[in-house]
Amino acid sequence: MIPLPSGLKIWLAAGATDMRLGMPGLALRVQQFLGRDPYAGDVFVFRGRRGDLVKLIWHDGIGRGFLTLEAILGHFVEFS
């Protein structure tokens, strides 16, 4: 289990994201569309078009974290 620091901000990217993107592509989207620094320590959450995949990126000050979650039954809720 990864301990999360207090005061951690979680940003949800509205709309669908191309799930073929990896860490560099999602970090670029954070900069371009959200206007945030992907290496500032916040968590950024992206949802795929079909709703069955969610990707999270997080930089903890030492290294980057990249997590992909897949919904086995159903879909993740749409962010809008």
Looking at every residue in the chain, the average pLDDT score rounds to 82
Task: Please report which confidence band the pLDDT of residue 9 belongs to, taking 50, 70 and 90 as the band edges.
Answer: very high
Range of the domain at 52: 24-70
pLDDT for position 77: 62
* 79 located within any domain: no
pLDDT (tens digit, 9 = 90+) per residue, 18-53? 989 988 999 999 999 889 999 888 999 998 888 788
Is pLDDT above 90 for 80?
no
Domain for residue 64, yes or no?
Answer: yes
The answer to the question of residue 47 being in a domain is yes
- The residue type of 53 is L
Asked if residue 62 belongs to a domain, the reply is: yes
The closest of 52, 24, 19, 51 to 38, measured between CA atoms, is 24
Let me know: does 25 contact 36? Beta carbons within 8 Å: no
Q: How many domains does the chain have?
A: 1
